Amino acid sequence: MYVHELKAWPSLTWREQDLSVLLAEARSRLSTLATELDKLGFEVQDEATLRVLTEEVVRTSEIEGESLDPAQVRSSIARKLGLAQGGVNVAVYKEDHHIEGIVEIVLDATRKCDEPLTEKRLFAWHAALFPTGYSGLNKILVGEWRDDHDGPMEVVSGRYGNPKVHFEAPGYLQLPAEMASFFKWFEEAENIDSLIKAGVAHFYFVTLHPFADGNGRIARAIADLSLARADKMKQRYYSMSAQINIEKKVYYDTLEASQKATLDITQWLEWFLACLVRAIMGAEVVLADILEKARVWQSLAQFFINERQRQILNRLLDGVFFGVLSAAKYAKIAHCSQDTANRDLGQLVEYGALIRVGKGKATKYVLRESSDSGAATDRGDLLDDSGKEA
C-alpha cells in the first residue's frame, strides 16, 4: 500500500524532536554563511550565485540522466541575470531551448520565491522544461496534468519487458483535487518549521507525480522555492541538487521506503535535512574557490591579459573546463593558431598563473594553486577533436 492510498492522506506527520539537532545545525550553518557573505563585495556574491545556480541546473538534470554543458548553462544564467560572462565566449553557443527552459525554472523558483505557487505557474514550468512537446522520442502532455492513457504512472527500473515497479502514483482523475489541496497547503500552512516544510513539499509533490515527465526536477524546484522563503535569500549560495546528485541512490531509496510506509515521514525528513546541511557545507568550499579566483586575478592585475587568456583562465578557475590544458586544446577553444597558443601560454607561465608540466608534445599546463595536488590532471581529457566539451 502506497502512502497516498492511506485513509488520512495527505495528513503527513513527523517526530519533530527527532529532527531538532539537524534543524539547529542547518540554521546555524545558514546564519554563518550569510554572515560570511555579508563581508564580501557584490562581485564575489554575484560570482557565488552564478557558480551555484550553474551547479543547480546541471545537477538537477544529471539526476534524471541528462548531461548539460556547464559553460553553456553558466552563459545562459549570466545573460538572464545581467552578470559578466566569466570567460565564456557566448558567441560560440546557439541558444538551446532545453537549457533555457530549466534555467528559467530555477531562476523563477528562487528569484520569485515570494510569488504564490499556482497551477498556472507549474504549467509554465513544465512547458519550459519540454519546449518541443517531447520527452526524448515520446510525445507527452505538456503544461497540463497527465492523463494515464498508457496506464498508471509508475516509477520503474530494470529491463524492458521485466520492469521493477518502485512506486505507483495516484490515478489521474484524482489529480485536480489532489493538486488543489497541495497548493492550498503550500501557501497556507504556517505552523510548520520552514526548513521542514521544504522537505515535506518535495515529498508531497513527487508522491503525486502529476506530470507525464519532469516531476523530479519540478519537485526540486519547489523545494528550492520553499528554501528561498525559509532562509529569506533570493540569491542562492548552496545547491541542494548538487548534493542530491552525490547521494542519488540514498535519495531514491529513502523516497521509495517512505512512499511505501506510514504517513510518518520522519525518515525522509531526517535525510532531507542532513542533505541540506551537507549542501550548505559544500557552499563553504565554493566560496573558498571564488575567493581564490579573486586572489588570482588580483595577482595578475599588473599584467596585460588578452581575451583569449582571460577566457581560458576563467574556465579553469570556474570549474567549467575539464581535463588537462595543452597548447593544442588552447588553440581549439580560443580559435587561434598553435603559435599564438604557445605564446599566450608562455606569458601565463611567466606571469605565474600557470605552471608548465612535461616536455615536447606531452607538455601540459595547470593552475599554480592546483599543481601540488595534481587535481587539474585527474579528471581526464573530455574535449573532443573539435574542441567541444563532452
Per residue in 284-315, pLDDT (tens digit) is 887 777 777 878 888 898 999 999 999 899 88
Residue 83 has a pLDDT of 81
- Say whether both 41 and 152 belong to one domain: yes
Residue 382 has a pLDDT of 31
Residue 322 has a pLDDT of 65
Boundary-marking domain end, from 290, 320, 355: 290
Residue 85 has a pLDDT of 57
What letter represents residue 257's amino acid?
Answer: A
Domain-located, residue 170:
yes
Domain-located, residue 298:
no
All three cell numbers of 343? 605564446
- Say whether both 283 and 318 belong to one domain: no
Domain-located, residue 296:
no
Q: Do 273 and 26 contact (CB within 8 A), yes or no?
A: yes
Q: What is the DSSP letter of 385?
A: T
Domain-located, residue 324:
yes
Domain-located, residue 166:
yes
- Number of domains the chain contains: 2
Q: Which long-range contacts (CB under 8 A, 24 or more apart) does 333-338 make?
A: 333/383, 333/387, 334/308, 336/308
Boundary-marking domain end, from 260, 290, 320: 290
Per residue in 329-376, pLDDT (tens digit) is 999 989 999 999 999 999 999 999 999 998 888 899 998 864 443 333
Mean of the pLDDT values across residues 321-330?
A: 85
User: What's the burial of 50, exposed, middle or buried (CB within 10 Å: 0-12/13-18/19+)?
Assistant: buried
Provide the CATH number for the domain around residue 332. Answer: 1.10.10.10
- Say whether both 355 and 231 belong to one domain: no
Domain-located, residue 387:
no
- Say whether both 196 and 320 belong to one domain: no
- Say whether both 39 and 183 belong to one domain: yes
- Say whether both 104 and 222 belong to one domain: yes
CA-to-CA distance for 53 and 61, rounded, in angstroms? 12
- Say whether both 256 and 284 belong to one domain: yes
Confidence of residue 96 (pLDDT cuts 50, 70, 90): confident
Residue 151 has a pLDDT of 84
- Say whether both 95 and 153 belong to one domain: yes
Confidence of residue 128 (pLDDT cuts 50, 70, 90): very high
- Say whether both 87 and 15 belong to one domain: yes
Residues 6+ apart with CB under 8 A from 374: none
Residues 6+ apart with CB under 8 A from 350: none
Domain-located, residue 295:
no
- Say whether both 77 and 197 belong to one domain: yes
- Say whether both 54 and 112 belong to one domain: yes
Confidence of residue 235 (pLDDT cuts 50, 70, 90): confident
Is the predicted pLDDT of residue 273 greater than 60, yes or no? yes
User: What's the burial of 190, exposed, middle or buried (CB within 10 Å: 0-12/13-18/19+)?
Assistant: exposed
Is the predicted pLDDT of residue 95 greater than 80, yes or no? no
How wide is the angle at C-alpha 211 spanned by C-alphas 237 and 233, nearest 5°? 15
Cell numbers 504549467 correspond to 123
Is the predicted pLDDT of residue 380 greater than 70, yes or no? no
Domain-located, residue 22:
yes
- Say whether both 94 and 124 belong to one domain: yes
Boundary-marking domain end, from 264, 290, 316: 290
What is 99-133 written as a DSSP string?
HHHHHHHHHHHHHTTTSPP-HHHHHHHHHHH-TTS
Per residue in 131-141, pLDDT (tens digit) is 999 988 889 99
Residue 53 has a pLDDT of 92
Q: What is the pTM of this model?
A: 0.78
What domain range includes position 319? 306-377
Q: Which range among 223-237, 321-335, 346-360, 374-388 shows the weakest confidence by mean pLDDT?
A: 374-388
Cell numbers 533555457 correspond to 100
Between 40 and 203, the more confident residue is: 203
